Chains A and B, each alone.
Chain A
Amino acid sequence: MTGGFEQTFREEARDLLGDLEAALLELDERPEDAELVARAFRALHTIKGSGAMFGFDEIARFSHELEAAFDRLRKGEAAVESSLIRLALAAGDEIRRMLDAPEGGCSPEAGRILADLRKWSGEAESAPPRESGEGEAGEDGAAGEPEDWFLRFSPGPEVMIHGSNPLLLLGELRGLGETVARAEARALPPLAELDPERCYAGWEIALRTGAGMQAIRDVFLFVEDESELTIRRREGRRDPSAPLALRARNAEAAARAAQAPAAASSVRVAAEKLDQLVNLVGELVTVQARLSEVSSRLDDSEIGAISEEIDRLTAELRANSMSIRMLPLRNTFERFRRLVHDLGAELGKQADLTIEGADTELDKTVIERLNDPLVHLIRNSMDHGIETPEARLAVGKPARAAIRLSASHSGAQVLIRVSDDGRGLDAKAVRARAVEQGLVAAGAELSEAEVLQLILAPGFSTARQVTDISGRGVGMDVVRRSVEDLRGSVEVRSAPGAGLTVTLRLPLTLAIIDGLLVRVAQAHFILPLANSLECVELTRGQIEEAHGNRLASVRGQTIPYIRLSEYFEMDAPRPERERIMVVETEEGRYGLAVDDVLGYHQTVIKNIGRLYRDAPMVSGATILGNGTVALILDPQRLVQDAIHLAGSGRRAALSLRGIGAEGAPSKGKQNRCYAA
């Protein structure tokens, strides 16, 4: 495997020896030229370093001596003499000979040169430093008897600026054994004084591992100097069942936080009753919107006060009834351990399931309907993604595969990821298969991400043969459909040989969200509050300054924006002042330019018809206080689509007439559907 490197090294070393020789000859003429000394030193340094890397130990030893001699010249500890240059030239020839016959070892000539060189380098006989990479972390996992350790780790304030991520270090520690960590945030300043680039947190960590002191210390190798770190072995706590003290403390803290009286009991309620409750709250929110519309029109302070009070109460009632429906994903996730185990036995594969974020809560309806897609994804991973232990060992992966199931929050959405470290998907093969199955034209221009999305198309299957586990032609499209029914989306990412990650993006709840009501011409839209960061003004002057580019400067940061009136092709005069809502997307921060931001709006999500199925940037609709309809936009999809359109030069063409959004524009134009 190193054959290629050796050849490259030989060629490189010959070039460097040529450089060295040229520098030496020039140095003979201009012994004072420091740059020439530096050049010679660099050439030798590279020969030494690379030689040692690829097993040319004799060459490394030889060039080390020569390098040491030139190092002294470089530092001004010795002067250039022609006898040294002669010696160096002879040494260069000797290295060249060794390159051609690496197994030849030292010739008598080489021994003589080496002895002479030592006079110059001022070193006793020595080998080049052959310490193994100090940075090796946890390599020698020669696990001894598990011991309990207690660590206190306060990273220096600048560790993150220097590129270290304390969370990765804690993760690495977790790899050594069972850990319980408690964050110490006392040093955290008030928000206004907080510098986001500095690290204020510290951790107390209890760790049980057999890896030993050195392995633990190696985790912190790079940050040790600038951090406070104490590592203590805890004696006399060998009982494997004894709970770590810190865990107990964490539990105490959690209990205190919950402040639930021990007697608090739960009540079982039929699911339909909950559904009904949420429906009623939805109705109430809609009526509330009407009330506040009327009260703002009447401009009566008495009614206004009542309306505001009811507004507050509805919001609370809503949050409460929603939270009743939220359940942690733990039960759903834990069930998959058995599935992975059973499938592994059936297929002769070995895999470990890691579960993360099992405490993430989701609407119970969403959870119920999530089970089948997840089963499908895990089956796919086990069946198609993960290789047999032999095949894995052959490509240098551990025999046991890792499947990860994780859940996390992202705005008003929950991301559920299923990833494996199997063979991944080959975009080329997917494409070929899609062409074969007539899903895409042979010459279609598709990015790699788009190609991978093809596996979600109906009828697509990459499996070479039908198996009992999966791959009967019904595949990922079922997953996609179930998730889309939940108003979610599916994303596939993969690297050939390095595994596959499928991300399900699901709304936290199916019923009501916090939104921002904005106006574009005569039409109203809702932007989910969870994605919205801030609102800034966009004046004509700023537009002119940008020379026609859709870029705005927000607090010194340049942010591209999308003008909704243009995106939706609405013929409307541009107002003197526009507003930009800055939204957070996976593509980064983007602005959405609107005519006006009207304010906060509790938004009851209504499903929209099939007509809008191909318009993914519209995630639903809601009814406003005055009875008109506002579309709920999905900023993530909208930005993705706009980027895509900008890339392909096509224009969006979504007419808003279809659902009767009042005064929806596009006058004089044909009523068109969104052209996918």
Chain B
Amino acid sequence: MNKVILTVDDSASIRQMVRFTLAGAGYTVLEAVDGADALAKLSPQLSVVITDLNMPNLDGIGLIRRARANPALRGLPILMLTTESQEARKQEGRAAGATGWIVKPFTAAQLLAVVRKVAG
């Protein structure tokens, strides 16, 4: 029943905020500090992945591409966090196979609304 969500961000405060918000709504939240760390934690058991785009080692776009290349992870909802309002970065993420996006700064209510939208 508990849906598991992976938050991928090199910013500890963002991870903490995402965890706090989603755990409060009954989700189980796992954390990864960058794309490479997330790659090791991806599994079809996850309900949603929320990833930052700018990260060391492997960035968000790279993570999305690798995830979509794995047949078992196709269809896994992946949300990207963007600070950029630039269309370009968002389009790059979409082309890589991201499900949706959340623009920073966002509120807890906005985060929950988007997660519910893709996780059901």
Interface residues of A (CB under 8 A from B): 2, 4-5, 8-9, 11-12, 39, 41-42, 45-46, 48-50, 52-54, 128-139, 160-165, 168-169, 171-172, 197, 219, 221-222, 225, 396, 493-495, 497-499, 501
Contacts and interface: CB of A to CB of B under 8 A. Distances in A.
B13 A501 contact: no
Interface in B62-120: 68, 74-79, 81, 83-85, 94, 97-107, 109-111, 113-114, 116-118, 120
Contacts of B99: 162-164, 222
B75 A50 contact: no
Contact of B77 (A46, A163, A396): A163
Interface string B10-46: 1111101100100011100000000000000000000
Contacts of B16: 4-5, 8
Contacts, number: 148
B105 A130 contact: yes
Nearest to B114: A135
6 shortest interchain CB distances as A-B pairs: A498-B26, A163-B99, A222-B100, A163-B77, A133-B106, A133-B110
Nearest to A60: B105
B113 A52 contact: no
Given A5-B17, A135-B100, 10 more contacts: A50-B13, A52-B104, A132-B107, A133-B105, A135-B113, A163-B97, A169-B117, A225-B94, A495-B2, A497-B26
A12 B33 CA distance: 13
B107 to A, nearest CB: 7
Contacts of B83: 45, 48-49, 52, 128-129
A130 B56 CA distance: 25
B12 A12 contact: yes
B8 to A, nearest CB: 13
B118 A165 contact: yes
A164 B113 contact: no
Given A46-B10, A53-B105, A197-B75, A136 B17 contact: no
A197 B14 contact: no
A668 B79 CA distance: 62
A130 B84 CA distance: 10
27 contacts: A12-B13, A42-B10, A42-B56, A46-B11, A50-B11, A52-B104, A52-B105, A54-B13, A54-B17, A131-B103, A132-B106, A135-B101, A135-B110, A135-B117, A136-B109, A136-B110, A160-B75, A161-B75, A161-B97, A162-B75, A163-B76, A221-B100, A222-B101, A495-B1, A497-B26, A498-B26, A499-B26
A139 B26 contact: no
Given A48-B83, A133-B107, A42 B54 contact: yes
A287 B10 CA distance: 71
Given A52-B104, A134-B103, A135-B103, A164 B109 contact: no
Q: How many B residues touch the partner, as a band?
A: 35 or more
A171 B110 contact: no
Contacts of B97: 161-163
Contacts of B85: 129, 131
Contacts of B74: 161, 197
Contacts of A54: 13, 17
Given A12-B13, A131-B103, A135-B100, A172 B117 contact: yes
A137 B12 contact: no
A396 B103 contact: no
B108 to A, nearest CB: 9
Given A136-B114, A222-B99, A53 B106 contact: yes
A5 B68 CA distance: 32
Contacts of A164: 77, 99-100, 118
Contacts of A396: 24
A135 B10 contact: no
Nearest to A501: B1
A124 B45 CA distance: 47
Nearest to A424: B26
A132 B102 CA distance: 9
Nearest to B83: A49
Contact of A50 (B14, B76, B116): B14
A137 B76 contact: no
A222 B99 CA distance: 7
Nearest to B48: A163
B11 A49 contact: yes
A133 B13 contact: no
A18 to B, nearest CB: 14
Given A161-B75, A494-B1, A9 B13 contact: yes
Given A137-B117, A396-B24, A495-B2, A49 B100 contact: no
A365 B58 CA distance: 60
B39 to A, nearest CB: 17
A9 B15 CA distance: 11
Given A133-B110, A495-B2, A12 B75 contact: no
B68 A161 contact: yes
B98 A162 contact: yes
A361 to B, nearest CB: 26
B78 to A, nearest CB: 6
A571 B107 CA distance: 64
A509 B74 CA distance: 38
A498 B2 CA distance: 9
Given A42-B54, A161-B74, A132 B1 contact: no
Contacts of B111: 133
A644 to B, nearest CB: 19
B100 A12 contact: no
Nearest to B85: A129
A130 B1 CA distance: 36
Contacts of B75: 160-163, 197
Contacts of B77: 163-165
A42 B9 CA distance: 12
Contacts of A39: 56
Given A225-B94, A396-B24, A495-B1, A168 B103 contact: no
Contacts of B114: 133, 135-137
B26 A8 contact: no
A8 B111 CA distance: 19
Contacts of B109: 136, 139
